[in-house]
Amino acid sequence: MQISTERLTLVACPPQMAEASGAGRRQLESIAGARIDAEWLEEDGRGLLSYYAYQLREDSTAVGWGMWLMILNASRLVIGSAGFKGKPDRRGSVEIGYGISPEFRRTGYTCEAVRGLLDWVFHQPSVMCVTAECLPENHGSRRILEKVGMTNHGVQGMYLKWSLEKHAYIAAQARIG
């Protein structure tokens, strides 16, 4: 399962890659079919892969509702991941999250990946709303969520809470044409 954007290919993380989270980088690259940024892998990637493996053991049909790899089209390099924190709940809501290697921050790649995932997820009949959360001091994440059209609902607990309703997304896409 993959999504193509202007500069990225988003690939639903293969289950065998998640299960191999403790393997060496070369083995993970072989499974991914792409090189993997070492800093992303060690900073975020291994932990996310391990958690995603747990999700898939709980529900093998969760592929697409978890981790998606961000692969640069130009170099076939995994620079981060974005995805959902599980399948939609009974109200049709899913939470999105993302992370990227520090070297590739402030390049627009994360925003591009989030837009690609929003387009995919809002074509799923069971999804009515996408939510997100970020720390108030995380200005980069806040800017991404603003750019993709999410509504800021203020601080709840430690986090800023955000949402985007399917009908608002569809209306905005119709205006863009």
The model's pLDDT over 111-162, given as tens digits with 9 standing for 90+, comes to 999 999 999 999 999 999 999 999 999 999 999 999 999 999 999 999 999 9
Give the angle subtended at the CA of 160 by the CAs of 155 and 163, to the nearest 5°: 115
What is the mean predicted confidence (pLDDT) over 47-75? 90
Model pTM?
Answer: 0.91
Nearest by Cα to 84 from 43, 132, 38: 132
Q: What's the rounded Cα separation, in Å, for the pair 131 and 163?
A: 4
The pLDDT, as a whole number, for residue 41 is: 83
Yes or no: say if 81 and 34 are a contact pair by the CB < 8 Å rule: no
The Cβ-side half-sphere exposure at 28, using a 13 Å CA radius, reads 24
Supply the pLDDT for residue 120: 97
Note the pLDDT of residue 93.
98
- Tell me the CB-side half-sphere exposure of residue 112, using CA atoms within 13 A: 22
Residues 41-56 as b or e (16 or more Cβ within 10 Å = b): beebbbebbeebbebb
CATH of the domain at 60: 3.40.630.30
Domain encompassing residue 123 = 2-176
Confidence of residue 177 (pLDDT cuts 50, 70, 90): low
Nearest to 3 by CA among 67, 68, 53, 50: 68
Helices and strands of the chain, counted as H and E runs: 7, 9
Predicted local distance difference test score (pLDDT) of residue 56: 87
97 three-class SS: strand
What are the residues facing 162 on neighbouring strands? Answer: 132, 152
Overall domain count for the chain: 1
Residue type, 85: K
pLDDT at 116: 97
pLDDT in tens, 4-57: 999 999 999 888 888 887 777 888 888 888 998 988 888 888 888 888 888 888
